[in-house]
Amino acid sequence: MPIATVNPANGETVKTYEAMDEEEVERRLQLAEATFRTYRTTGFADRARLMNRAAELLDQDQRDIARVMTTEMGKPVGQARAEAAKCARAMRWYAERAEALLADEEPDESDVHDSGATRARVRYRPLGPVLAVMPWNFPLWQVVRFAAPALMAGNVGLLKHASNVPQTALYLEDLFHRAGFEVGCFQTLLIGSAQVDDVLRDERVKAATLTGSEPAGRAVASTAGEMIKKTVLELGGSDPFVVMPSADVDRAARVAVTARVQNNGQSCIAAKRFIVHTDVYDAFAERFVAGMAALKVGDPMDEDTEIGPLASEQGRTDLEELVDDARRGGASVLCGGERPDRPGWYYPPTVLAGVTREMRIHREEAFGPVATLYRAGDLDEALLIANDSPFGLSSSVWTRDDAEADRFARDLEAGGVFFNGMTASHPAFPFGGVKRSGFGRELSGHGIREFCNITTVWHGA
């Protein structure tokens, strides 16, 4: 894939870039290693000052970088501004809390003496240069949720961003430099996917984090495993959205629309499978389908547009194939399902019912505004359908019954269970999944510690 900005609203190539050659990549690796030697010794106050400055600059740049993101991958421009604002908040969150999150831990005094020590503690130390392989769907947020904790922990970052968002990738490098971070603290590598393996194998790179597809995760995990390097993987998701009889069905249906089509439906944690108890199925389906059908599809630069184009022509083709496979298998198309006759890579909000286990969309992630509706006879069947997926990223459950909530919290196979609200990421809470959705956690204290050397410091008599 060429490294280029191609506007998905009209298919026009805006700007292309040459991939960095081996010499330039080597120069940047040397710089990352050299910078880490000194940056790792900086204090939290200095790092926080720089991170807060980056947040301040991002707030100032919000409108401009939002338009860049919308041009590169098609999200409605209002959502792009919200993404930039969220990134600035996360930067400030880690700037304020990193020192406490990584404070030395004091073991119980009796355990210290029992070990034969006079004193002991656990210390969190940075690992070194971390390679981040990031996707296009949240081109700022996916990077910042890695970069803010990694930099605050004393690591340095190397970003290999998706090839269709090069302007956003270069903006991020410039942002951290303007904030005052040394040049080697955060560098963008304009390279193709084929070059990632060589970078990851380099001994100067100490760890890697990837958000993206399952095949990309397998490739990075395989190389990292061979090289014995720490990785965090956040891969696909096909999140269930469960509605039980005690739920506020009107509100659940309204939120369900947003939960499915946020970011033009191109979100790993978007609700994708809507599992509704038979007692409220008809009422929910009527409201949900009406809400999906009423969404305004249009130019993502227009403030009133709710659904923009998909990010790539191939992405739309993949989505169409899933819908067509379900249709051939007997699924009902309750709205949408047909490519509009207009320039750009648009696809309408679509709802499918009567989906069976034999259909591809039951087990594959639909990365676009396509929802599947399931009818469940009781709680056990709802759980069975929800867990019948190779993915386990997050989930949303609508119930006002405490016993039901306890059961779902215990038995749902997911990295998150959100009750009476849609799944969202926030710096305070760990983010990640199970099964083929990956391993490790981002955000919160768990996320900042992923790329730390957790060190036992023991003193004898």
Catalytic residues: 234, 268
Cα 141 from Cα 47, distance rounded (Å): 20
Cα 334 from Cα 332, distance rounded (Å): 6
Q: DSSP E strands: which ranges in 260-411?
A: 271-277, 332-335, 350-353, 370-376, 391-392, 396-398
Cα 446 from Cα 240, distance rounded (Å): 24
* Phi, then psi, of 104 in degrees rounded to 5: -55, 140
Cα 455 from Cα 412, distance rounded (Å): 34
- Give the number of C-alpha atoms closer than 13 A to the C-alpha of residue 266, restricted to the C-beta side: 27
Cα 459 from Cα 442, distance rounded (Å): 33
The first and second tokens of residue 436, run together, are 């083929």
The first and second tokens of residue 25, run together, are 């990549």
- Beta strand pairing call for 230-234 and 438-439: antiparallel
Residue with tokens 């496979």: 325
Q: Rounded to the nearest 10 degrees, what angle do helices 141-152 and 44-73 cross at?
A: 170
3-state secondary structure of 117: coil
The first and second tokens of residue 29, run together, are 């690796």
Name residue 253's amino acid.
A
Give the alpha-carbon dihedral of 136, 96, 418, 135, to 10 degrees: 10
Nearest residue to 350 via CA among 375, 381, 319, 325:
319
Residue with tokens 């490294």: 3
Residue with tokens 């880690």: 94
- How many residues would you count in the chain? 461
How many other β-carbons are positioned within 10 Å of the β-carbon of residue 212? 23
Query: Any idea what DSSP says for residue 261?
Result: H
